[in-house]
Homo-oligomer: A and B are copies of this chain.
Amino acid sequence: MPGEQPIFANMVKLNTNENPYPPSPKVEAAMRQLCDNMERFRLYPDFKAEPLTAVLAKCYGLENDQVFVGVGSDDVLSVAFLTFFHSDRPVLFPDITYSFYDVWAQVYEIPYKCPMLDENFRIRKEDYYQKNGGIVIANPNAPTSIAEGIDFIEDILEHNQESVVIVDEAYVDFGGESALPLLKKYENLLIVQTFSKSRAMAGMRIGYAMGSPTLIRAMNDVKYSINSYTMNYPSLSVGVAAVEDDAYFRECCEKVIRTRTWARMELERLKFTCLDSAANFLFVTHPFVPAAKIFAALKERGIFVRYFNKPRIDNYLRITIGTKEQMERLMEALLEIVPVAEKKEGV
């Protein structure tokens, strides 16, 4: 089940890693153009999703046949699991990572194994040098927010030339390093990104994969066997507009990064430990006040963050970076919740 989606006036929603800024004004213009051509809605959309795959290919310096688009990166990842993971050997991904990898493995009856992150919540690349049926690495990882460099990813690729290696870069635009340059060298690399975070369009459901023509063709073959027309006409049109407004995209990402830097400083003043984030969220823990208590106390105040009641991370909170104003409200609330004097519980 996804995170809660409560919506009421004056709430502060920092629980599902959405972008605090609206989509580009060019997206609005594209939407208005659609309204002048409602006749087009009676027809099926282009099943090759070509305007969108083409503009993404151009944006990332790839050929059109190196891009696959789907209904959010969940759809893209799900199709990738179904397409590439057929071995008797287990697919490998970290024990703490995006919560859908094991769900897809279970639905599609794919064996899997989850090497543990180290004590600092870092991926140990050597864990991925064993025989496997595929590898999935979220980079930056979620919910830890930690990014690894491109050399780290390349080491994993070098040791795994027989497996498909998926790098899930949902959060890469907030300070991570993309594996994109490695596509030239590794035909077994699939990079997955999304419009839901950095492009501020979670409501549109657009995700994409980039890889060799062989991998993309295989994914399309599976896609055409399930649902030929996944991307509706508005998605295709406004998706193109979003990619074309590169300046707006960069500006939003920079604003989020600036707010993250400020928010981390403020949280540290309140004695929180924050992992090094290259994402649009912070993963934090407090030395005296349990995460579950902080979560509940924030919720009472109309501030929603994410709490995972799972082994190893049940004393952490994942806090989406909102606007500066939202983060100020968060800090004011936390000031009431966590003790400023040490070693005293404040809830």
Contacts and interface: CB of A to CB of B under 8 A. Distances in A.
A35 B205 CA distance: 17
Contacts of A22: 38-39, 41-42
Contact of A224 (B2, B202, B228, B230): B2
Contacts of A228: 1-2, 74
Contacts of A205: 45, 229-232
A201 interface: yes
A104 B225 contact: yes
Contact of A5 (B46, B72, B222, B230): B46
B5 A47 contact: yes
A265 interface: no
A55 interface: no
A322 to B, nearest CB: 11
Interface stretch (A25-33, A121-129, A297-305): A25-33
A225 B106 contact: yes
Contacts of A41: 22-23, 27, 200-204
A116 interface: no
A144 interface: no
A75 interface: yes
Most chain B CB within a 10 A radius of its CB, from A18, A227, A228, A229: A227
Given A23-B42, A44-B202, A107 B222 contact: yes
Contacts of A347: none
User: Interface range on chain A: under 10, 10 to 19, 20 to 34, or 35 or more?
Assistant: 35 or more
Interface in A183-203: 196, 200-203
Interface in A219-239: 222, 224-235
Contact of A19 (B2, B27, B42, B71): B42
Contacts of A201: 41-42
Interface string A42-60: 1111110000000000000
B28 A35 contact: yes
A39 B202 CA distance: 11
22 contacts: A2-B224, A2-B228, A13-B43, A18-B44, A22-B38, A22-B42, A23-B38, A23-B42, A27-B38, A28-B35, A41-B201, A41-B203, A42-B203, A72-B227, A72-B229, A74-B226, A75-B226, A203-B232, A204-B232, A204-B233, A204-B234, A205-B229
Interface of A: 1-2, 5, 7, 13, 16, 18-23, 27-28, 31-32, 34-35, 38-47, 71-72, 74-75, 78, 82, 103-104, 106-107, 196, 200-205, 222, 224-235
The 8 A-B pairs of least Cβ separation, nearest first, read A203-B233, A41-B203, A2-B228, A205-B232, A74-B227, A44-B202, A42-B200, A22-B39
